[in-house]
Amino acid sequence: MNKLLIHGGKPLIGELRAAGAKNAVLPILAATLLADEPITLSNVPHLRDVTTSMELLGRLGAHLSVDERMTIEVDPRAVDKFCAPYDLVKTMRASILVLGPLLARHGYAEVSLPGGCAIGSRPVDQHLYGLRAMGAEIEVEAGYIRARCRGRLRAARLVLDLVTVTGTANLLMAATLAEGTTVIENAAREPEVVDLGECLIAMGADIKGLGTDTLIICGVPRLHATHYRIMPDRIETGTYLVAAAITGGQITIRDTRPGCLDAVLLKLQEAGAHIETGQDWIHLDMQGQRPQAVHLRTAPHPGFPTDMQAQFVALNAVAKGVGTITETVFENRFMHVNELQRMGAVIRLEGNTAISTGVAQLTGAPVMATDLRASAGLILAALVAQGETLVDRIYHIDRGYECIEERLSRLGASVRRVS
């Protein structure tokens, strides 16, 4: 099993280009199942989850081609299988996103209950509630969701009990081919949901309200071919910004969207970073200084993203002062704290809050990643720790970060992949 070997203590300095967004491309790949013509996607990141999604589409019967720039063409016209099996879904929760498109386009879907990162309960009840309201007959048995509908799905007014990104995406996709006008209230406002909606519009969907908590979808008879460019990854951008901040370095990230990172940039400025932004770039300079501790609370967009929580726990571990981070989105997302404590971090957990008293120096140690973003937090801590850190179970990091060791090395880090 691969590991990352990191020798800390070097400030990160340099420039990177943001990769395409993992959390946007996965639902957009699922959305290709709605079309009756080929869909071409560019700016696709080279990630394990993308490969898994492509394998799933192939098993359903879609024809896929990929060029050397990771531009993917998906031809869904040959889809003749409608089951997303456990062996794929258990490794990637986003596989649940084929449920809505298969049901809307073909009238039947059989999807294993999802797996993915072990960060707490992420039920699919909102997906099922919405699809049932749109006329689907759904059974859950033997670990599978089996859904069918006679003819087209029917429009409905859907009021979600809680803000759910995958639930919003699944119901949004299903509604594009439903008969009538569907309204989704308390919808997720995340930029990746907006990106999915923009791609669906490019395919011929009629959607209003993107970026708000109320989506209005007027169903159309068919969706057609398009070429769509995936948005840049705001979480990857934020992670590299924190990497520069935690090491006292400076970085410029290009081909990104500063407007999607307002909450993260604000906290980095509170930590002492000097930040400049342009239309598609962000420059951060710590001027060699140790960061200041910050207080934050995760929340659905436009609040502070839960996917940046672990990175800021690592930052607070070496910051001046005492910082508190409260996690409100997932109930089991502090598993990285025990590993940071092995490196000398002084962190106390009180319920869903991590209280950190920053130390001047962490010490390298063998640590184990427990989920995708926890992996990122441990790597950031290793970059600033004295000595050698061995990060195990990095298959998690490969799900969401493209060639992370190469990109960090380009910034001056001492990091390599070992067996």
Phi-psi region of 288 (alpha: psi -120 to 50; beta: other; left: phi over 0): left
Which position among 117, 149, 199, 260 bears the catalytic label?
A: 117
Provide the greatest CA pair distance for the chain: 64
260 catalytic, yes or no?
no
Spatial CA neighbour of 411 closest among 271, 256, 403: 403
Compute the 3-state secondary structure of the chain and give helix, strand, coil in percent, each to the nearest 5.
35, 25, 35
- Side by side, which strands form the sheet with 72-75? 63-66, 72-75, 39-42, 226-229
Q: Tokens at residue 408, please?
A: 């960090």
Asked whether the beta carbons of 117 and 396 are under 8 A apart, the reply is yes
Q: Which residue's structure tokens are 């070992």?
A: 418
3-class DSSP assignment, residue 340: helix
Write the burial class of residue 225 (CB in 10 Å: 0-12 exposed, 13-18 middle, 19+ buried): middle
Asked whether the beta carbons of 97 and 112 are under 8 A apart, the reply is no
Asked whether the beta carbons of 217 and 193 are under 8 A apart, the reply is no
Q: Tokens at residue 110, please?
A: 């059989």
Q: Which residue's structure tokens are 């049932």?
A: 132
Write out the catalytic residue numbers. Answer: 117
